[in-house]
Amino acid sequence: MSAPTLRTAPTADLSAGELEAARTLLATVYEEAQDGSDWEHCLGGTHILLYRDGQLIGHTAVVLRRLLHDGHALRTGYVEGVAVRADERGHGHGATLLAEAERLIRGGYEVGALCSTEMALPFYAARGWQLWQGPTSALTPDGVERTPDEDDAVHVLPVTAKLDLTGALTCDWRGGELW
């Protein structure tokens, strides 16, 4: 078994086969990804693909979003589609994917953000991601609406933005899961 290799590329530079493999991996790992909206949220950003012996074993993406906080629209590197094939878990592949995502965030954004499953909360905390402690909301076509179910799931990785982790945080609108 060879060592894994990492490929980082924008959506436009990935082949149809690479895109399909990543979409399939995401749908396999996350039951809720079956409707396609989670995959759609990955598109247009920068994908981080982890391969072993020519097979995709891990994926994540960093996409541009705007988060509103303390009167500012923050240029945010939002982490989407973090997935590692079940038989490859427990070998540090998630950390490899996130290290590259964090490099991209630190190099081009004011802040990083993501919404975590409960199971992954310790993983992100150990990497220095900070749990948002204030109320979360989304800017929707009907105005700002609270997203209380996400209050204990949103993490940020401060880069240059000054953040009050107890203040309000509002994400931009998109279809599917707002966070």
Number of other CB atoms surrounding residue 143 within 10 Å: 8
pTM, 2 dp: 0.94
What confidence tens digit (pLDDT) does each residue in 50-103 have? 999 999 999 999 999 999 999 999 999 999 999 999 999 999 999 999 999 999
Annotated domain spans of the chain:
5-171
The CATH homologous superfamily to which domain 5-171 belongs is: Gcn5-related N-acetyltransferase (GNAT) (3.40.630.30)
Residues in the chain: 179
CA distance 94 to 42: 17
Residue 74 β-bridge partners: 67
DSSP H or E segment with residue 93 = helix 93-108
Number of other CB atoms surrounding residue 132 within 10 Å: 25
What confidence tens digit (pLDDT) does each residue in 105-149 have? 999 999 999 999 888 899 999 999 999 999 999 999 999 999 999
How is residue 120 written in tokens? 């992954």
